[in-house]
Structure 1
Amino acid sequence: MLSSLSPPTPSLVNRNRCPVNETGRLSLPKSSKLLIGPRRTGYSSSRLRMSTGNGGVGMNPPGGVGEKDGVIIVDHGSRRRESNLMLNEFVNMFRDKTGYPIVEPAHMELAEPSIRDAFGACVRQGAIRVIVSPFFLFPGRHWHQDIPALTAEAAKDHPGVSYIVAAPLGLHELLVDVVNDRIKYCLSHVAGDAEECAVCAGTGKCKLY
């Protein structure tokens, strides 16, 4: 689906800017331009903590995804089947790229699988902690209210399984590359130098008006 995207430029991911310390975590210098975490984005730090209200015992590594973690990538959901299927493709890409063993798609509304469905699927595969990652750009009402409420409701069916609703994509330098790549590819298509990308294929939307 995103095969047209250019790989990240070395300047954004080289070890001088993002060295890995002895624990295996990224050690970001204070001057880093990556806009992550509550301090730079204004996200509430309490929103990013793992919920303890479901009786979770926290047996997974706190700083990374472990084999007993389940990851749910949740988007809004659409009445358009093709849009929903693209989330499945992204989840496959994410699973292949990260190597995480338990990754499930979910739609907040309008389509299945729901957050409840995905939560249950993670638990059936052995997850004792579930990380819900909203496939949204910015922290609007769905991130503040709807997704946490739906996740809390799903967790009631699985006492002892802890969960966290992670931050949305937010402001990140790599998103600049994604947006720029999309713009350049669409202009190449309009100029007759490239086929429609997987996102626009069959829609006829990528044209000058």
Structure 2
Amino acid sequence: MTAKMTTTQSQFLMNLSHGLSSQRNLRADNRVPSSSCQITRKNRSWALPVSLKVEKFQLQRGTRRRGSPCLVKNGIGDADGIIIVDHGSRRRESNLMLEEFVKMFKDKTGYPIVEPAHMELAEPSIKDAFRLCVQQGAKRVVVSPFFLFPGRHWHKDIPSLTADAAKEFSGISYLITAPLGLHNLLMDVVNDRIQHCLSHVEGDADECLVCAGTNKCKLYNSS
């Protein structure tokens, strides 16, 4: 069962990485409209960030100053650090799961600097992760919220905590990406969870890695 779940997770990350790579290689004037492109600021006020500014690198793709890291304008280079931040929990098991996801993400993408962070309740904090990225040579830090939708934490809390972390350093730019949101691959993930849990309660599958040992994945009867 563990092998099956690992394959599913790896396939999800591989598809995600391939999709992002394909998008970067498309020229803007040749892009094919998709369902995600139909959600705009005009018809969905929450679809696009309105309060976050993206600082652009001055160096072009592939250019490098002697003795300095290579800065990539439209992708992740060895001068970029990534922070994957979740809410944080008092449950140690939940926090360890983020660390495991970050390891999987780093192995799959090959990005050199990737750190986990918790917004609150647990360590490492966003400030801790930001410092670790800079210590490893990052000149630009990309903060990726491991949240489903753009609520208060994305609009206010994470930007505030990241700005506070950046104050310790000069010459470091940072970006806060959109949360997971309405992404087609999430439909596959949700469906996989539903199908597996149904198989488990019917006795055809073991508990998944998330539910293992919790005795939560069971069928309840209303009184």
Equivalent residue for 1:43?
48
Equivalent residue for 2:31?
29
1:152 aligns with one of 143, 160, 163: 163
Identity %: 61
- Hey, what's the Cα distance between the residues in 1 that align with 2:135 and 2:39? 31
Q: TM-score, normalised by structure 1?
A: 0.83
1:61 aligns with one of 45, 67, 72: 72
1:123 aligns with one of 112, 134, 155: 134
Task: Give 1:122 shift.
Answer: 0.3
Structure 1 stretches (4+) deviating beyond 3 angstroms? 17-21, 26-30, 34-41
| More helix as a share of residues | 2
- Hey, what's the Cα distance between the residues in 2 that align with 1:172 and 1:20? 15
- Hey, what's the Cα distance between the residues in 1 that align with 2:202 and 2:21? 41
Deviation by residue 1:80-105 (Cα, 9 ceiling, x = unmatched): 00000000000001001100000000
Deviation by residue 1:95-129 (Cα, 9 ceiling, x = unmatched): 01100000000000000000000000000100000
2:104 aligns with one of 82, 93, 100: 93
Other structure's SS at 1:74 match: strand
Deviation by residue 1:146-166 (Cα, 9 ceiling, x = unmatched): 000000000001111110111
Q: Which stretches in structure 1 are left out of the alignment for 5+ residues? A: none
- Which one has a bigger Cα radius of gyration? 2
Distance 1:18 1:197, change over 3 A: closer
Q: Is the 8 A contact 1:36 1:171 kept in 2?
A: no
Q: TM-score, normalised by structure 2?
A: 0.79
Task: Give 1:32 shift.
Answer: 1.9
Q: Which stretches in structure 2 are left out of the alignment for 5+ residues? A: 60-70
Distance 1:19 1:203, change over 3 A: closer
Distance 1:37 1:69, change over 3 A: farther
